[in-house]
Amino acid sequence: MVSKLRRKFVITAMSALLVILVVLIGVINISNFVEVTKSADELLTILADNDGNFPDMNPAFDQGKNDSGSPDKKQDDLENSEDVAAPDNDSGSALPPAPKDEELKRDIYYYTKSIEAPFSTRYFWVRFDTTGEITQIDTSHIALISEDTAGEMAQSIYEDSGTKGYKSSYRYYVTQSENGDTMILFKDCSSDLYNAVRLLRNTFMLMLVCLLAMFILVWTMSGHAVSPVVESLEKQKQFITDAGHELKTPLAVISANIDVIELDNGKSEWTKSIKNQVNRMAELVKNMLTLTRMEEESVKTVFSDIDLSSILAEASNSFSAVADASNKKYTVDIEKGVHIKGDRNSITQLASLLIDNAMKYSSENGEVNISMHQGKHVEFEVRNTCDNIPEGNLDKLFDRFYRADTSRSRKSGGYGIGLSVARAIAISHGGNIEALRDGDHVIRFVVKLPKGKA
């Protein structure tokens, strides 16, 4: 019990941390990739606005100087402009002042913002005329790409009619001039993308380290965290065990006294009622003790090879008279010769609990079908018609003392613990049981057991 609770505690804590780390790392890396793309688009926009060159390479910036290198009248007008003050670079020399012309003003802004960009950016561009023929290729700013390769890359993008995107590790931007020519510009983002991948790898490794450290910490503290729950469950199980054993003696005495009274005074309505209630109580105590024993980890049941087919056939045949008495259609289809490793008494109890449950809660003049077949697993199924199938997840039927219809349960004598015992038996044999809904009025209980082993 302690190990199960510790595992659940650790899994829950680690799952929560994993979700948080995945979201955090995802946001960091996606933001970094978006920033790389945004930066590339800004540089490509500058190149597109300046005919494939950075502003400091554009003749518009050289128009303010004469052949001797001294500023002419236009440069004097720019320097005297009151719109934007000319900032200084790190060396203290004055950068080109912002002109009144809005387009040049934007170019100079980007120039002063990224003054080293012309020297650090690897790019190339290809120009197309209105007929789609390549008229000019410029690969002077990149050594890795030849003119033929540049033409092939641009041609594929031109045919796709895209405006922005990635071609391998190159970010491209498609722009069109006033005369109808099309220019496709490419920026080499391999270095930025490599750094982005390295960031992803480093953050992933950091996540693994955090998960490992968290696992060690949580596992160390989990024993202390679940100890109150474990203590409470142990006390509950001990109480059920002690109470069950203590109730056996008075129930046996009451049953013996009723037998004596019937011998002396004969049977009556009252003695019959008392015996029915004693039998119900005895059955409840038996199921509670069985459930506690099945869930006790220290109990190691020794399994042996058993003939499952004969056990289920025998259990099914014992309910034939019950089905006839209640006018129910009862069919049995059990494959012969199926053997598993298990406990004969437990499997008999499992079959009896499921068939008895089907008989009690099946509709009036309804149907009960028993089947068992061997495939990947050994599947034992009990199917019955039912007037009122609970809504939602049917797994709640296996909760202790759960009863979907309390009025029917009182009449049939059920306490809502039989299916809990059935699940405990199935799990103890290495299998499981589930409740399935077929339409609105048919319910199936399917037990899956491993073949030939517990």
Rg (CA), the chain: 41
Per-residue model confidence (pLDDT) at position 148: 92
Residue type at 421 in one-letter notation: V
Per-residue model confidence (pLDDT) at position 311: 92
Domain harbouring 337, CATH code:
3.30.565.10
CB 446 within 8 A of CB 381: yes
Per-residue model confidence (pLDDT) at position 415: 57
Q: Domain for residue 112, yes or no?
A: no
Mean pLDDT of 368-387: 90
Range of the domain at 348: 304-449
Q: Determine the Cα angle at 148 with ends 143 and 150, to 5°.
A: 60
Per-residue model confidence (pLDDT) at position 56: 55
**Quick check: helix, strand or coil at residue 32?**
helix
Rounded Cα gap, residues 207 and 17, in angstroms? 10
Mean pLDDT of 256-283: 84
Q: Determine the Cα angle at 145 with ends 140 and 147, to 5°.
A: 70
DSSP 128-147: E-TTS-EEEEE-TT-SS--H
Residue whose tokens read 């105590």:
285
Answer whether residue 111 shows pLDDT above 80.
no
Q: Which residues of 261-277 are buried (b: 16+ CB within 10 A; e: fewer)?
A: eeeeeeeeeebeebbee
Per-residue model confidence (pLDDT) at position 427: 86
Per-residue model confidence (pLDDT) at position 75: 44
More confident residue, 145 or 55: 145
Closest CA to 346 of 379, 308, 313: 308
Q: Domain for residue 345, yes or no?
A: yes
Answer whether residue 411 shows pLDDT above 80.
no
Q: What percent of the chain has pLDDT over 90?
A: 32
More confident residue, 208 or 428: 208
CB 397 within 8 A of CB 390: yes
CB 75 within 8 A of CB 64: yes
With cut-offs at 50, 70 and 90, classify the pLDDT of residue 101. Answer: low
Q: 10 Å Cβ neighbour count for 20?
A: 12
More confident residue, 218 or 111: 218
Answer whether residue 343 shows pLDDT above 60.
yes
Q: Which of 10-14, 70-74, 364-368, 430-434 shows the lowest mean pLDDT across its residues?
A: 70-74
Total number of domains constituting the chain? 1
Query: Could you give phi then psi for residue 124, rounded to 5 degrees?
Result: -155, 165
Helices 344-361 and 308-317 pack at an angle, to 10 degrees, of 40
Answer whether residue 345 shows pLDDT above 70.
yes
Q: Domain for residue 107, yes or no?
A: no
Q: Domain for residue 17, yes or no?
A: no
More confident residue, 28 or 239: 28
Mean pLDDT of 291-299: 59
More confident residue, 25 or 419: 25
Residue whose tokens read 């007037």:
387
Per-residue model confidence (pLDDT) at position 452: 67
Answer whether residue 100 shows pLDDT above 90.
no
Per-residue model confidence (pLDDT) at position 189: 93
Residue whose tokens read 């190339």:
124
Q: Domain for residue 369, yes or no?
A: yes
Q: Write 334-337 long-range contacts (CB < 8 A, 24+).
A: 334/309, 334/370, 334/371, 334/372, 335/309, 335/372, 335/373, 335/374, 336/309, 337/309
Rounded Cα gap, residues 157 and 39, in angstroms? 21
Mean pLDDT of 341-349: 88
| Strand order through the sheet with 164-167 | 134-138, 123-128, 182-188, 170-176, 164-167
Answer whether residue 331 shows pLDDT above 70.
yes
Q: How does pLDDT run across 18-65, given as a tens digit for each residue?
A: 999 999 999 999 999 999 999 999 899 988 988 888 875 444 444 444
More confident residue, 116 or 53: 53
Per-residue model confidence (pLDDT) at position 428: 84
Chain mean pLDDT for the chain: 79
Q: Domain for residue 37, yes or no?
A: no
Closest CA to 84 of 53, 55, 113: 113
Per-residue model confidence (pLDDT) at position 231: 74
Per-residue model confidence (pLDDT) at position 205: 95
DSSP run (H or E) holding 219: helix 190-265
Q: Domain for residue 434, yes or no?
A: yes
Rounded Cα gap, residues 450 and 303, in angstroms? 13
Answer whether residue 78 shows pLDDT above 50.
no
More confident residue, 190 or 394: 190
Answer whether residue 275 shows pLDDT above 70.
yes
Structure tokens, 30: 């996606």
Q: How does pLDDT run across 164-200, given as a tens digit for each residue?
A: 999 989 999 999 888 889 999 999 999 999 999 999 9
Q: What percent of the chain has pLDDT over 70?
A: 78
With cut-offs at 50, 70 and 90, classify the pLDDT of residue 403. Answer: low
Q: How does pLDDT run across 260-269, given as a tens digit for each residue?
A: 888 888 888 8
Q: Domain for residue 262, yes or no?
A: no
Residue type at 331 in one-letter notation: T
More confident residue, 188 or 108: 188
